[in-house]
Amino acid sequence: MDTSRRIILKATMAASTLAVAAGANLLTPSSVLAAWPEKAFKATKIDEAMNAITGAGRPTPSGDITVDAPDIAENGAVVSVKVITTLPKVESISIYVPVNAFPLSGSYILSNQMETTITGRIKMAKTADILAVVKSNGKLYSAKKAVKVTLGGCGG
């Protein structure tokens, strides 16, 4: 009787560890998930988010990046953004909205097959600049676009 009790205990312990691991996103389909930078997306300040996603370096403004977004967005929940860059050897494109609760919207890691243009839709809490950061040839460059938001899109 004692041994079976041990076995049951062991089994429950193993199961609970597994549950914790799953809860912490440790057990995820390996084919899909590599390393989602949770720290970057949970950061509430843009500096923290940048540190977590591209390191300590700060981008320098560049005329070779265009952030194409509407001047006025009626609905902040859906703001269409297009980032176009002519910079060489683009490794990643990250989009930030500094006024959002979580400033990092998304980060795109491009292979060398990619044309260096990304289109997507992001949320904006209020009127702000959209900041695009491009990592090109190991260096960081940025560009901004001011968007006036008439209705915030992050709830609350």
Partner 1 sequence: MARKMKIRAWDNGKNTSIKAIIFHPMETGLRKDKATGKKIPGHYITEVKCEHNGKNILTCLWGPGISKNPFLSFNFNGAKKGDSVNITWVDNKGTTGGSSAKIS
29 binds partner 1 (CB under 8 A): yes
SS3 97: coil
To which residue do tokens 């490794």 refer? 91
Question: Shortest approach of partner 1 to residue 25 CB, angstroms?
Answer: 7
Q: Which of residues 52-111 bind partner 1 (CB under 8 A)?
A: 53, 77-80, 97, 100-111
- Minimum distance from residue 20 beta carbon to partner 1 (Å): 14
| Terminal Cα distance for the chain, rounded | 55
Give dist(CA 73, CA 131) in Å, integer: 16
CB of 113 to partner 1, least distance (A): 5
Whole-angstrom distance, CA of residue 150 vs CA of residue 152: 7
CB of 59 to partner 1, least distance (A): 17
Q: Among 4, 6, 32, 56, indicate the residue that binds partner 1 (CB under 8 A).
A: 32
The whole-angstrom separation of Cα 29 and Cα 84 is: 32
- Please identify which residue in the block is written with the tokens 């040839």: 137
Site residues, partner 1 (CB under 8 A): 22, 25, 27-29, 31-34, 36-37, 40-41, 53, 77-80, 97, 100-111, 113-115, 117-123, 153-156
